Amino acid sequence: MKKLSIIGIIAFSLSFISCGNIQGNQPDEKPAITENNNDTNEAQVEYLTYESFKEKVWDFEANPNDWKYEGDVPCVIDFYADWCKPCKMVAPIMDKMAKEYDGKVKIYKIDTDKEKKLAGVFGIRSIPTVLFVPQEGRPAMQAGALPESEYKRIIEETVLNNKK
């Protein structure tokens, strides 16, 4: 019993870890990101670039002082890096939520090493950082890896406005 509670405490503690100071961390090894294969009908996480972010989320160059969400459904954006261990813990959660919320919420990812300008626009200082974007209103941001249940709670309450 004692062994089980120690493992539980360690697992819970690790869920709130993030990689700080993203500018100063160096990758151990950087695997290539493969683009989504749309041969299946299964919902997937979509990787955004600087240009696709402006088209699908917010054109901050055209509207620098006004948040105007461009999407047709709310979204969640995971700012990550390939070398970040907590980001790797969050990745399967985002994949699962892309399938679970298919048609209701889009799940996007932004590689902070490749898209430094986007990370700068949002002042990303530690990763993972997740941006929760409702259809109407301002987005909310959460830094650090969280358990799946917390991401779902935030999506339900903030993104889909399903207050309990």
Q: Which residues are catalytic, by number? A: 84, 87
Gap between the Cα atoms of 98 and 108, Å rounded: 9
Going by their DSSP bridges, the two strands 129-133 and 46-47 should be labelled as unpaired
Gap between the Cα atoms of 157 and 71, Å rounded: 19
Gap between the Cα atoms of 109 and 51, Å rounded: 14
Gap between the Cα atoms of 92 and 164, Å rounded: 26
Gap between the Cα atoms of 38 and 43, Å rounded: 9
Half-sphere exposure of 143 (CA within 13 A, CB side): 12
Q: Which contiguous run of DSSP H or E holds residue 47?
A: strand 46-47
